[in-house]
Amino acid sequence: MSTALNFDAVLPIITRDVGMLTGAMVIRHSTRKYSTSPVDHEALTALQAYAEELSTVCADVRLCMGDATPDSKLFKLEKIRRASCKNASHFCVGLVRTDSVGSDAWVGLLGEMYILKAASLGVHTCWIGGTLRKAEVLKSIAPEGEWTVSFITPLGNPETPTQGFPVRKRKELSKMVSTARPLSDWERRAAEAMQSAPSALNKQPRTMSVENGSITLREEGKGKESPSGGMTKRLDTCIALTHVLAQLAKDGKIRTVETVSSLPLVVRISQ
């Protein structure tokens, strides 16, 4: 079953939450070492409500929260003895329906909205996919029906309070954006929003073209279906799409959003 991106359901949420999303884009960064101190209860309640709301956007994607313990195996990676994260007290899992195709796009979009919400509430996170021990994760939440784990993020307080907002080095815009003329202010802000988005191994597998009043975001390469879930290029591209849509919504520059291609993923935003 193919799951195409339908923006009618998610754009109203992005528009409503645009201040929160764009504000969190600036401060959010990955955290791998957590304190054993409990996460604020009100923040967890708000995140649970947001996970439930985002899970209504696409029937083939669910965001599920749960509790973790210091010795939890949820954050351990296959074939790697060390845990990818330590001491997180809670987690959120992104699930895709096993028989769906293309759901990784929705997981990237909705998962990043959730992670930005967490950042806005002072809760630290880290995208984890790929070699995740998916059987352990599924066992911890026991969802009804046939689901595949796409990613998990810890939720917690950092082991050491950070000074400022550390961000990994990103590709230069000139290597990611193609345009026949200088970018306008709002176009540059959209490009920088794409540039700021996280990705697996910091590879940033997406490009942007700007022309004739529209912005087009493209997944690098030919695209690949991944029924087993995990951190795909399409998922990474949709993490960046979340940032771009939020910034364009803030600037009032979204009229239509359309999926031009699913493999590779190509999304055009017109104003």
CATH of residue 186? 3.40.109.30
Question: What is the pLDDT, as a whole number, of residue 164?
Answer: 52
Question: What is the pLDDT, as a whole number, of residue 139?
Answer: 84
Clarify whether residues 186 and 119 are in a common domain: no
pTM of the model: 0.91
* Domain boundaries, position 179: 173-270
Clarify whether residues 58 and 177 are in a common domain: no
Clarify whether residues 37 and 138 are in a common domain: yes
Clarify whether residues 147 and 177 are in a common domain: no
Spatial distance between the Cα atoms of 214 and 267, rounded to a whole number of angstroms: 10
Question: What is the pLDDT, as a whole number, of residue 65?
Answer: 95
Question: What is the pLDDT, as a whole number, of residue 74?
Answer: 77
Exposure string for 242-252, b = 16+ CB within 10 A, e = fewer:
bbbbbbbbbbe
Which residues in the chain show pLDDT less than 50? 228
Question: What is the pLDDT, as a whole number, of residue 71?
Answer: 66
Question: What is the pLDDT, as a whole number, of residue 214?
Answer: 93
Exposure string for 181-190, b = 16+ CB within 10 A, e = fewer:
eebeebbebb
Question: What is the pLDDT, as a whole number, of residue 186?
Answer: 95
Question: What is the pLDDT, as a whole number, of residue 33?
Answer: 87
Clarify whether residues 142 and 213 are in a common domain: no
Rounded to 10 degrees, what is the CA torsion of 68, 238, 259, 50? 40
Question: What is the pLDDT, as a whole number, of residue 141?
Answer: 86
Question: What is the pLDDT, as a whole number, of residue 102?
Answer: 81
Clarify whether residues 148 and 91 are in a common domain: yes
The residue out of 155, 186, 204 marking a domain boundary is: 155
**Domain annotation covers residue 84:** yes
Clarify whether residues 84 and 138 are in a common domain: yes
Clarify whether residues 207 and 146 are in a common domain: no
Clarify whether residues 238 and 138 are in a common domain: no
Question: What is the pLDDT, as a whole number, of residue 90?
Answer: 92
Instruction: Give me the number of domains the chain comprises.
Output: 2
Spatial distance between the Cα atoms of 193 and 196, rounded to a whole number of angstroms: 5
**Domain annotation covers residue 5:** no
